[in-house]
Structure 1
Amino acid sequence: MDPNETIRLLILNDSRSEAERLISMLNNAGRPNRAQHVDSEERLGKLLQEQTWDLLIAHDATDNVPPQNAIRQIRRLNRDVPVVLLTDDSSSASVVEGLKLGAADVVRLDEDQHLLQVIEREMENRDQRQQRRIADRRFREAERRSQALLDSSRDAIAYVQDGLYLYANESFAELFGYSDKDDIDCLPIMDMVADKDQKHLKQFLKNFTLKGDDAESTKVEFEGVKHDGSTTHVSLDVARATFDEEPCIQFLARARAADTSEELEAQIAQIKWQDLATGLYNRQYMVEQLEKLIGAEGRNQSPEASLLYIDIDNYADQVQAAFGVAGADMALSDIAALLRENTQEGDLLARFGDSAFTLLVPAIKADAAVLRAEKLCKAIEDHIVDVDGKTLQLTASVGISLINDTTSSAESAIEQAVSAMEKIRAEQGGNSARLYEPAMSDAEKKERDIMTDVQHALDNDRFRLLFQPIINLRGSDDEYYEVLLRLLNHDNEEVSPKEFLDAAAKMDVSHKIDRWVILESIKMLSQHRSKGNKTRLIINLSRQSLCDESLPPWLGVAFKAAKLPSDAIVFQASEVDITNHINAAKAFAESLKKLKSCLSISGFGCSLNPFNVFKHVELGFVKVDGSFTQDIQNNNENPDALVDMIKQLHGEEVTTIVPFVENASVLATLWQAGVHYIQGYYLQEPTKSMDYDFNMES
């Protein structure tokens, strides 16, 4: 990265002062920049379309433009803009989540030296990607020019491998009396050699091949057999060559001098590039012009263009069935005239296939291209096609691909436009326009589906509660259940929290789900206790709820309204959430104590110093991580580590719970260690009701 190069920077941050600090930091570090503070998605889309940007720096918790939405916009507009996220979170979880979203890196807030190194790396990476794209375009342009020279050369040229023609140009085809060069592809050489010379030519080619790279250019002469069976004397220059990255032999027959008028050349060119049925340019011309546009020097500095792929809906069923083959050409000519009326100066319109047209529009932004395509759809829909008095109204689907500094070839641009068009057909049946967007990965699709299920569950009350008993090993009469949450998807199948809670956190709806669980639990517990039961529940809370200062007052109101003693419910949060938000956890535990409830910690024992939490947060229950029990039951670990942990927990005067008890083999160890409560499928799997018989454990 050139230290004097100006960084074109987008900043997503709710705090404008923080954006100004970033800009000042870059300036002080000798990194000149031109930055824009973005405060809305609409503004972001406009900036991405109107200008070229090198980098986007976003705070991972910004509300105005969530980072995932910004990354989605960049992908949608096919921009090469790396995203660097800043985070307040000191854990690795934020880094992992940021990288999953598609960020290039995640940097702790205020770690400016780290950020500078990341910026320098991403700028260098972007420069390398740009240089690679430019090299790819130049290579493709060189290939295209070489191919064009071969195709149009008056010299007869062919490439041969293993006795077959890989390629022959028109002049070579004419030399042997073929009307189309494609007729020679993969044809055996000996089919075009007189019988008397075949042995001689076979020996010549064998000797030439054996010499390998040392073979020098030479000549060979033989009696050739034309397509019509007549013969002609052929003299060819023979040389080693490479075609389509394959080693082969080149045949070359020099053309005889001939005079061709400029007028005739122009007529030939017109015929070559024109579609006869519509009078528009043909596919070959469009592809060539598209390659020229993409391969132009300074492409990344010029305004972006768009390729519109316009395909008539139900062409075979409607047009060909109604008018026949000849009438269908007349109908297409009519549509072509309509499209021509809707072109502007600088546009390039071509017939691209049986029912497809392409429109190359220069200097147009993404939103404007979509609007243009929608107007074309409307114009075609409103137009009446008249063929010999028979009328028909048609519709079309228009796929759009953006041509900009990320576009490497005409082929990729066309494929993207066709893909967008096909997606319209699949999802809407046609008569619409769509901008190409990169396909989501399987993981992204799964996450999207789960997010849809979560929102549907919130809107339609599709969550369900299950209850798993927690049994006292010390002979107490206490009855505890842990409340477990399930989600019912569109297929009425249960989805476990492991799949949907992460999605809920990203959607910022975890606190809503927690409050639904709390209210439903209070309602069901009140009904259960009204029958004389002294049952208590343990309810899990998300990080959002743990840090929500408004939750404790809300709980007080909820308990009072249900006439339920607040000590009937214990609230539980994970070790990760409590240790990562120690101050919030401390405040929440103190608030629960005032309500005569308490806070429990789950997944205990996985951090480097798990007992440090007791210095800051008052806990009533500690549920150790289930991996300890599983390892003992699977004979992967001796019980000493768990036993030692339980003894230390006794010193903290907390109530211990050991989950994932799957068989009786571990019970003696847990009882001897002094564990207070156990939980697991050995006792009972989670059920829809609180129906466990605690008396049989007495």
Structure 2
Amino acid sequence: MSVHKHTATLLIITSDASDAERLIGALREDGIATQSVTVPHAERLAEIIAQRGCDLILCCSYQREVDLDSVLAAHRKLIGDIPLILIEESEQHAANLAKIRRSAVRDLIRRHDHDHLKLAVAREFAELLRRREAAGLNQRLRLCEQRDRELIAVTSAGVSFVQDGLHLDANPAYLALFGYPDLDELQAIPFLDLFVPEYQKKIRELLRGGDATALNEPVELTVICRRHDASQFNARLLAAPAEIDHEPCLRLLVHPLDAPALVTPIAISAEPEISTAAPAPVAVNAEMSAPGLSQLLAEITGHLNAEHRIERPFAIFYLQLKDGTQLLRDLGLTLGLEQRDAYAAQLSTLVAAEHGFCARVTDDGFVVLVDDVNELEAKALAERLLTTARLPHRAGTQPDDATADFDMGYYLVRDRAGAAEDIVNAAYRLCVGRESVPTAPAATPAGDSEAEIARRVERALAQDHFKLVYQPIISLMGDDQENYSVLVRLIDEHEPPLEARDFVGPATRAGLIEQVDRWTIRSAIQVIGEQRRAGQRISLFISLAEDTFRNPSIVLWICDCLREFDVRGNWLTFQFQEEVVTNNLASLNKLMETLKKIKCRVALHRFGLLAHPERLLQNLPLDYVLLKSTFAQGLANDPAKQQRLVALATMAHEFNVKTIVTGVEDAQSLTVLWTAGVDYVQGNFLQRPSPTLDITSGGR
């Protein structure tokens, strides 16, 4: 229990000892102060306070011998918390009022006003005691936290601290439990990646406060965890609120359970033999589809290095049973499930002959991975998968029925890929026919061979022949931020200049686009630093190619550039093409969250292409969406387009996302855009791309 002083010890600055006695006498009557120290000036103020343990300072500034400026200067140099109260003549009260307001003086009292003096000293002493008590409690808290850390470090339970989906700290037992050699490697991955996909929704809700809204007591979950080597184990997870460095976070305790984890990929074995008789039970866990997906994701991850480059090229096939519900209706539940299991056994045997990997990821869905095949080999394997592995013949069907029982989508994975989830999702979309993968880069301009353009890009990177140009993004809502879209030009005095659309395709296919993006990012950040130091409120929008954002190290490189040029992340917006987002949704979500942590903004370009754009707004932490330029073409005379524009703008605002319409080419469109609630516009009518950062009015 804290022991408080009941009365204050005063330091009185006065040249008249009798004045000091009158002051302390008035305070002693009410038991406010009983001890005092008197000094004639402010010299050695800190030393006297330390020696005598003074709590407050009273300064008789009305005395000619007391230099008020010296007292204020000496008080500012004090390290401790010592309140200063001035006593002044009535006629000087107003004259010194402005001066003391700029200082740390706690009160100004007229001479002989003992009632005010008593109130001021009692108030300041009580507040001083409360501050000292709070400081003592903070010190005790820090000691408790230190002892807590020491206990956590030696406990056998896995303990970590998580904030915004990333690890802040973890004890050795936690690192050993998940198989990570050190904290740095653990901090490089999202916390969600420590759990198999079917449990990630619950973990995400926990991180967002969905399961711990009040946080009055720990939240407990039973989960399946995933180690660094992709092996799994069952665990009980306890989450409770905590603080690290005065920042709120979650403290997590992970207790492994004795029961084995549920992992059930299809066994890759040459047995049992395929039988044309009635299906017999097979060693396939038909119910547990999610662990099969977990094993599949682990298998894909094993093909990727730290930079998401493909170390072992492979083909991925997604097979989906046609009319699976109708099959169960025709045959009944038990026989229908037996047919599916028999097919799983056939597929397992067939894939084993190809030395591949097979997993059952849903009741009706299967994924096959085969290494080192070219396009012709992949096509031939796809035909064998569809024609050789078949459901047992249904009643009334002919054995030679040429109609496949399954739909299939497949493609080759090489060079660099997104997250494992993105690869599976892309194969699934190909199977169900929702989109093609991959998206083709821009075409090569006529008159130049692709190889020649690639050589020009390579030469420009070596000789710094690239140049930035800027197009302003103008606010329709009165925002005074100077936003510009950054574009790149390839300038060579011996060759005609190339715009980005001319060289992006060849650069991408030649594996050079990431180097171009890095040159653009670093140059743009340098420009931001120069303009900000010159007093301009500039903010730049930069597009990232797919190869660039698939590299997990890109954010660290961006951080290095921000530090190099002393630039804040919120002066930079990175934008991504909507066409490639759906094939990289999992990895892009992680990347955007990481960019937001360094305060950068993120935008989605060519928004509105998909049938359900709200899904992207729901799943990505966006700041802006840039609507495709066709929205601005003929907008004033197209009611249907206006209605669609209003719907998209309203939808974006519901998710607190600002809208930008590009390709504005006429004045009539501006009125419609403003009425629709669009936040920003960009286009040649407002200003063409320019190598300078001056905004001009009107088109050119």
- What TM-score results when the alignment is normalised by the length of structure 2? 0.39
Structure in which a larger fraction of residues adopt helix = 1
- What TM-score results when the alignment is normalised by the length of structure 1? 0.39
